[in-house]
């Protein structure tokens, strides 16, 4: 990965260029305002610059969007009226008093019952995080089992779920695959894509041309799914 500068009129953008075994070129803007461009290995500097010129308006809109998000850091208070993501859909949080702590979905609402003050954000956050953790365990294991059916695997790698800052998933070895717990906020097809990506490493360890051919065979629109995943989770967030 190398850092470059793209200038277009009065606009100047720093971006990171990653050349890898792939057929297409992609551009991603992250919430920290970093710009990452991935291109085929044989793409010339002129082709990259031409692509950026075609995308400059989209690039500027994305940066403007994330700048607004940075100004409002999205800190949650975990009180009624706030919005939370679950499996790609936004739910309105409703906090109610009850003898037993629990969380349930009900017609577009995320109902949280607490035995303490309904305005106690720290307790509400703890209750909600525990619920997300339970749902992640259930959903991820179910999707993992389903996606595995498309692979010829004698002994499936152990699935580990934990929070990661920079990756949606990780292929540790033939014995272990890690999924980012934050994926519980994403649609199921995004979760399936990440699982598929990691399982493809059972066949090809490196991100080479054969790996991406296999990934494309398994998930023909994987690049669009990946873009959707990054945009939704990184811009709207969850917990």
Structure confidence at residue 186 (pLDDT) = 92
Structure confidence at residue 17 (pLDDT) = 92
Q: Which of 115, 190, 116 is nearest to 147 (CA)?
A: 190
Structure confidence at residue 231 (pLDDT) = 67
Is 87 inside a domain boundary?
Answer: yes
Q: Which of 108, 118, 113 is nearest to 86 (CA)?
A: 108
Q: Which of 147, 138, 151 is nearest to 87 (CA)?
A: 138
Is 121 inside a domain boundary?
Answer: yes
Is 76 inside a domain boundary?
Answer: no
**Domain final position from 71, 101, 129:** 71
State which residues form the domain around 228: 83-236
Is 101 inside a domain boundary?
Answer: yes
For the whole model, what pTM was predicted?
Answer: 0.70
62 and 95 fall within a common domain: no
Output the 3-class SS for 27-83: EEECCCCCEEEEEECCCCHHHHHHHHHHHHHHHHHHHHHHHHHHHCCCCCCCCCCCE
| Number of Cβ within a 10 Å radius of residue 133 | 15
Is 36 inside a domain boundary?
Answer: yes
Q: Which CA distances in Å does 45 have to 19, 137, 155?
A: 11, 45, 44
Count up the domains in the chain and report the number. 2
182 and 228 fall within a common domain: yes
208 and 147 fall within a common domain: yes
Q: Which is it for the CA torsion 154, 159, 164, 167, positive or negative?
A: positive
95 and 58 fall within a common domain: no
196 and 166 fall within a common domain: yes
Residue-by-residue pLDDT tens, the chain, 239 positions: 788 998 888 888 899 999 888 888 989 887 678 899 999 999 999 999 999 999 988 888 888 877 765 554 557 889 999 889 999 888 999 999 999 999 999 988 999 999 999 999 999 999 999 999 999 999 999 999 999 999 988 888 999 999 987 789 999 887 899 999 999 999 999 999 999 999 999 998 888 889 999 999 999 999 889 877 876 665 554 55
d(CA 218, CA 223): 12
Specify the DSSP element, H or E, that contains 110. strand 109-114
197 and 124 fall within a common domain: yes
**Domain final position from 14, 41, 71:** 71
């Amino acid at each position: 990965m190398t850092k470059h500068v793209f200038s277009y009129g009065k606009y100047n953008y720093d971006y990171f260029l990653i050349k890898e075994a792939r057929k297409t070129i992609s551009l991603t803007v992250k919430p920290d305002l970093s710009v990452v461009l991935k291109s085929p290995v044989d793409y010339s500097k002129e082709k990259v610059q031409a692509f950026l010129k075609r995308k400059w308006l989209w690039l500027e809109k994305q940066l403007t969007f994330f700048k607004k998000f940075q100004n409002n850091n999205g800190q949650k208070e975990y009180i009624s009226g706030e919005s939370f993501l679950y499996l790609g859909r936004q739910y309105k949080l409703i906090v109610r008093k009850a003898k037993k702590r629990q969380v349930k979905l009900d017609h577009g609402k995320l109902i949280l019952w607490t035995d303490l003050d309904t305005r106690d954000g720290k307790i509400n956050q703890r209750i909600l995080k525990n619920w997300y953790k339970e749902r992640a365990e259930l959903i991820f294991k179910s999707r993992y089992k389903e996606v595995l059916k498309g692979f010829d695997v004698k002994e499936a790698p152990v699935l580990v779920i934990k929070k990661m800052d920079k990756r949606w998933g990780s292929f540790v070895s033939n014995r272990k695959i890690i999924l980012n717990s934050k994926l519980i906020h994403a649609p199921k097809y995004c979760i399936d894509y990440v699982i598929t990506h990691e399982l493809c490493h059972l066949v090809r360890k490196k991100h080479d041309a054969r790996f991406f051919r296999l990934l494309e065979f398994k998930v023909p629109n994987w690049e669009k799914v990946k873009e959707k995943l990054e945009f939704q989770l990184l811009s709207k967030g969850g917990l």
